Structure 1
C-alpha cells in the first residue's frame, strides 16, 4: 500500500471542502483534497441554464427507502458528485436562512457559539456582493453574488402575484428580514456559474501546497493502534489499489450529509450494533447517521393560455440561438438559473417565514422519481412550495462494509404529524398565489393538484403524500452538539472522542436553516477553517433557555 503525507487530508471537495482546503493552503499548510467525482471542466458546468443536465449527469443517485407516510414511494435525493460538489450542479440560489435559525442552534440545540451574530462574519467572508453592502453583506469574498440579468416574464408575474397577496417586494432575502418576494441573488458572474471549485479552489492554481485527486473514493479514516486519534485516510482511484494518505495534523471529512456519515461508519465510528451487523469493529459509539432531515416541496403546476414559457426552448433552432448568444455575449436565456425568483412567507400566524416558493417559467417535473410521471408536454408555470422546518427525523445507514456501495436512507418523511399539516398549509398558500390577478389572467388551468378545492384538506393531504419530494437540502447526520450521546461533533466540529478528526459540511446542522443551503455550506467551511487555524477566536456564549427538539 503506497502512502504520502500532508498536513491535512480532506475527504470531499464540495461546497465546504473546497473552502476549507483553500483557507488551509492560504495559511501555508499542505493539503490533500480527495473528490470521488470528476473535474468540473465541462462547458455545461459554466452555463447556468444547463443546471438540469449537469445535476442529472454529475450526481450520486441516492434514493430513499419506501416512505410509509408517502404512499410507500422511494424518492430521488441525488447529491453532487464532481469537483465543487453541490455548488457545481445546484440552482445557484444564494440564501443563508434566518437569524432565528442560528439563534435556535444556540438556544434550543445547545450549540453555544453558533448563534446568528457568531456566524454572520463567516457569511460575509464568503461573498463579494455586487449590489448589497450593509452590515449583512461582504464585498471582497471569493464568490460573486449578484442579480439575475435574465428575468422571464412568468417569473415577474409570480412575483407580482405574491405582492398582490400582501407580501413586500425585496431584493435581499439575506438581510434584516427574510420575509417577502423578489428575484433571488445568485452565485453567477458574467453569465457563468460561480462554484466553490471555480472561485475558492481556482485561486490556488499552481500552488504546490495543494494536491487535488479526483475519482478518489475514500474507504475509511485511519486511526492509530489505540484507536485514539485519526492519522490519515485510505482511498482508491477508479477502483484501483488502496492508497493511504497520512495527515500530520488533521483529517477533515467534508463529504456531505450522506458521504460523511458513510466514511465515519466505515471507520468504526457510529452506533455499535449497526457496525457489528455490517461486520465492522466498533471503535467509537456515536449517533452517526441519526437526525437526518431535509427540505421537501410539492410542484404546483398550471398550464398557460399562450405559449409563453421556456418549454422546448432547449430544442432545435431555439437551442442553437440561445447557445450562440451565450457563447458570443454571455447573455440571454442561458445565463438564467431558471429558478429566478421566489418568496418567503409566514403562514403560521407568526412573523417568521415558514414557507418558501421557487418560481419556474415552465411545468416542473424534472426532479420527480424516475418513471413516476411523464415529461410535461405543454407551456406552463410552476410554484415549487414547501415548509421550511421539518420536525421528522430519519437515519442514514450502511448497506454493507463495501465502500463502493451507496448508503441506505431511511428518511421518515412526514413521520412527525406537524409536517403534513404544515405542508398542506404551504400548498394552500401556493394555490392562493395562483388565484391572484397577475397569474390568473395567464393561467389556463391548474393541473397539479387537479380539481382539488383549496378548502379540501383531506384531498390536499392525499396530494401531498403522493407528490412531496426533496429540495436536495439534506443535513443533520453528523450533528453538532456538546453531548456525545446525541451529537457527533463538538462545538468546534471535532468528532467526539477522536482527536485530529473533524466533520465540516452540512451534515453538522442540528436543524437545516430555512432556505437553500449552498451558502450555509460555504459558511460552515469558512467557520471550520477558522476553528482549525484560530481556535482561540471561538467564543461560547451560554444560553439561558435550552430544550431538546424533535427527539
Structure 2
C-alpha cells in the first residue's frame, strides 16, 4: 500500500546525504557541542532551529526514533493514527491499571520519530485562550508567561495557508489572529457533509456558540477545525522547523539512539551540573557520551523527560532508592502532577452515504484515494479524520460547583470538548460492516485528576510506569457526563434532523446519568482506527505537567520559570512536561509557544544572535 513512500524515502535520503543527519555515533564530527538537545519532537526541533540561526553556535539533537521522511501514514492527514500502537514510529507504552476505569490497562503510545507526536497527532491546532497563559503567569510568578508577553512567540511559530483545494473560507477565520511562522495551518480542503450542519447549529445556538477563530484568545465555542496541514500534507515540527535547518553546518542530528541518563560534570556556582549525555542505539549496545559546553536541553516529552531525570538521580530520593539509583538532586515533584485529556466516542447512524465509512471498508476505494493523495496531494486524504471542534463551558450554576472550585483558567476556556468525525471512529467495538455514521467525541479538557511517571527499574530501556489516573475526581466524571449529554443536545438540533437517525452502540444505549457514567468507564480513551486492526490511544495525546514550572525559590515544581531545573546548573527542560497546568486545548500549539520563548531565553542567556 505504501510502496510510493519507499521511493520518497530514497529520494529524500539522497538529497540529505550531505546534511547533518546521522544514525551512528561514529559519524559525529566531535563529541562536544555548545548545546545538546534530547528529543527531536515538537519542542526540540524548534529550539534546534532557533539556536542554529547563530552560525557560531553548534547544536546536537539526539532522537530515539526514526526519520519521518517518506512515511505516507505520517504525512497523509487522514491516516493520522494508523501507526499506533505497535510500530517503529511509536513508543509502544501502556498505562498502569486505571483504578477509575475498571482497572483497564490502556495503550499510551507517543511519537518515536522525527517530529515526535507532532508527526503522529490528529493535527487539530488550537492555541488556547489568553486565560490559560495568564494562569501560567500567576502559577509561576513570572509575567513572561502572560499572554501579552507570549503573543510574539505564538505569531513566530505558525501561519495560515489556503486549503489544498483552494476553498474560500472567508468568514471562518480572522487573518489578524495568525502569524508568520514555519508551521502551516489550514482549514479543511475536502468538503464534509457535516461542515454546514456544524456551523449552522453553532450560529443559531447559545449553548454551542460559533467561534470564528479559536486563535483569537477566546476558545469557547464551535467551528470547523484548523489543522497543521499545508499543501495537503502534515506540517510537523520535523517538516516545518528541522528539515529546513538541516542545511546549516552547525546543526547535527543523531537519530535511532536513546538517551540513557545525564552524567554529572564539574559543578558550576556550587550547583550540581549535568552537561554530559549518555546514549545507545539499543539495550545491548555500547553506550556513548557527548558533552554540552553551555547547556543540555531536555525535550523528551512528558513521559520521557521525567524518566531521564530520574535515571540521572534527579527526583524523589525515596523513590529512587527503591530502584537502586543514588540521589544526586532531591526533587520530589519529578514525574508528579501529570495531567491528560480523556476522550470517548458517541456514535450516531445517519441517512446519508456521504461519510468516510466506505473509504475505510473498501480496499479498492481506499487505495485509489491514497494514490490520488500520493500523486497530487488532493482528495479526502488531505484532511485529518476530524472536521469540527468545540470547547464548551459548563453552566455557572452547575451542581458540581457547589462543592468543587471551577478548574478552568477563566471564562474564555471550555470545560469539555466536542470533536466531529464524518464516519464511525471505532473504540471498544470494531467498525460495523454496513451503515453510515457520524462520531462526536467528547473530552474533558480541564481535568483535575493528577497522575504520575515513575521508574519501573534502573534499566533505561525498561518502560516507565505511566499512570494518567483518569477520572480519579468527581469533577472529571461530571464533566464527561455533561459532555456526552451536550453532544446529544447538539445532534438533536434542527440542522441534524434530516441527517441523524439514532444513537448507536454502548454509549448510545445508555439513557440515565448513571448508565452514561457506567458506559463511559468502558468507552473512554481507546479507539480502533478505521484503517488499522490495532487498537490505538485517543487521549488526544496530551500528557503534560510531569516536570512543571513553579516560582523561583519554590520548594515544589521541577523547573523555574526560565525552565532551568531547580538546584541544577547546565540543564533546561523544554516540552509539555513544564506546563504548570494543562491547557484546555490541543497541546501542540502551546508546546510551540513554550519552545519559541525558551529559545529566546537561551539565546539571551548565552548572547546568541
Tell me if TM exceeds 0.5: yes
Q: Deviations over 1:140-179 (max 9, x none)?
A: x111222221121134434434444433333411104222
The equivalent position to 2:437 in structure 1, one of 354, 370, 380, is: 380
Q: Matched residues in 2 for 1:208 and 1:108: separation? A: 40
Q: Structure 1 residue 478: deviation in Å?
A: 0.4
Q: Matched residues in 2 for 1:244 and 1:144: separation? A: 36
Q: Deviations over 1:415-440 (max 9, x none)?
A: 22211111111111111112123223
User: Which deviates more, 50-59 or 262-271?
Assistant: 50-59
Q: Matched residues in 2 for 1:376 and 1:13: separation? A: 38
Q: Matched residues in 1 for 2:390 and 2:115: separation? A: 27
Contact kept in structure 1, 2:174 and 2:212, CA below 8 Å: no
Cross-structure match for 1:116: 147
Structure 1, unmatched stretches of 5+, are 538-551
Q: Structure 1 residue 536: deviation in Å?
A: 9.9
Q: Structure 1 residue 488: deviation in Å?
A: 0.3
Q: 1:275-294 to 2 correspondence within 5 Å?
A: 275-286=320-331, 287-294=333-340
TM-score (structure 2 length as normaliser)? 0.83
Describe the SS at the equivalent of 2:414: coil
Q: Matched residues in 1 for 2:437 and 2:504: separation? A: 10
The equivalent position to 2:349 in structure 1, one of 303, 317, 335, is: 303
User: Which deviates more, 97-106 or 309-318?
Assistant: 309-318
Q: 1:154-233 to 2 correspondence within 5 Å?
A: 154-166=194-206, 167-224=208-265, 228-233=272-277
Contact kept in structure 2, 1:191 and 1:330, CA below 8 Å: yes
Cross-structure match for 1:526: 596
Contact kept in structure 1, 2:130 and 2:412, CA below 8 Å: no
Contact kept in structure 1, 2:38 and 2:62, CA below 8 Å: yes
Contact kept in structure 1, 2:140 and 2:561, CA below 8 Å: no
Cross-structure match for 1:34: 62
Q: Matched residues in 2 for 1:234 and 1:536: separation? A: 24
Cross-structure match for 1:144: 184
User: Which deviates more, 282-291 or 56-65?
Assistant: 56-65
The equivalent position to 1:46 in structure 2, one of 45, 54, 75, is: 75
Q: How many residues get paired?
A: 529
Q: Matched residues in 2 for 1:486 and 1:460: separation? A: 38
Structure 2, unmatched stretches of 5+, are 1-24, 163-172, 397-410, 526-538
User: Which deviates more, 5-14 or 50-59?
Assistant: 50-59
Say if 2:465 is the partner of 1:421. Answer: no
Q: Deviations over 1:307-333 (max 9, x none)?
A: 332113143321232123223332110
Q: 1:215-254 to 2 correspondence within 5 Å?
A: 215-224=256-265, 228-239=272-283, 240-254=285-299
Structure 1 runs (4+) deviating above 4 angstroms are: 131-135
Cross-structure match for 1:546: none
Q: Structure 1 residue 352: deviation in Å?
A: 4.2
The equivalent position to 1:261 in structure 2, one of 285, 290, 306, is: 306
Q: Matched residues in 2 for 1:300 and 1:161: separation? A: 18
User: Which deviates more, 350-359 or 298-307?
Assistant: 350-359
| C-alpha distance 376-217 of structure 1, shift in aligned 2 (>3 A) | farther
Q: Matched residues in 1 for 2:393 and 2:115: separation? A: 33
Cross-structure match for 1:545: none
Cross-structure match for 1:516: 586
Q: Structure 1 residue 520: deviation in Å?
A: 1.1
Q: Deviations over 1:24-70 (max 9, x none)?
A: 11123111101111000123322111112234432212221111111
Q: Matched residues in 1 for 2:116 and 2:522: separation? A: 29
The equivalent position to 2:418 in structure 1, one of 343, 357, 373, is: 357
Contact kept in structure 2, 1:364 and 1:376, CA below 8 Å: no
Contact kept in structure 2, 1:293 and 1:475, CA below 8 Å: yes
TM-score (structure 1 length as normaliser)? 0.91
Q: Matched residues in 2 for 1:324 and 1:376: separation? A: 25
The equivalent position to 1:390 in structure 2, one of 447, 451, 459, is: 447
| C-alpha distance 306-157 of structure 1, shift in aligned 2 (>3 A) | same
Contact kept in structure 2, 1:165 and 1:436, CA below 8 Å: no
Describe the SS at the equivalent of 1:211: strand
Q: Deviations over 1:182-204 (max 9, x none)?
A: 21111211111111111111111
Q: Matched residues in 2 for 1:63 and 1:418: separation? A: 25
Q: Structure 1 residue 404: deviation in Å?
A: 0.7
Q: Matched residues in 1 for 2:447 and 2:142: separation? A: 19
The equivalent position to 1:473 in structure 2, one of 542, 550, 558, is: 542
Q: Matched residues in 2 for 1:43 and 1:13: separation? A: 19
Contact kept in structure 2, 1:162 and 1:343, CA below 8 Å: no
Contact kept in structure 1, 2:37 and 2:296, CA below 8 Å: yes
Say if 2:492 is the partner of 1:432. Answer: no
Contact kept in structure 1, 2:90 and 2:110, CA below 8 Å: yes
* Cα-Cα RMSD: 2.1
Q: Deviations over 1:470-493 (max 9, x none)?
A: 221000000001245210000100
Q: Structure 1 residue 359: deviation in Å?
A: 0.6
Say if 2:365 is the partner of 1:318. Answer: yes
Contact kept in structure 2, 1:265 and 1:288, CA below 8 Å: yes
| C-alpha distance 174-35 of structure 1, shift in aligned 2 (>3 A) | same
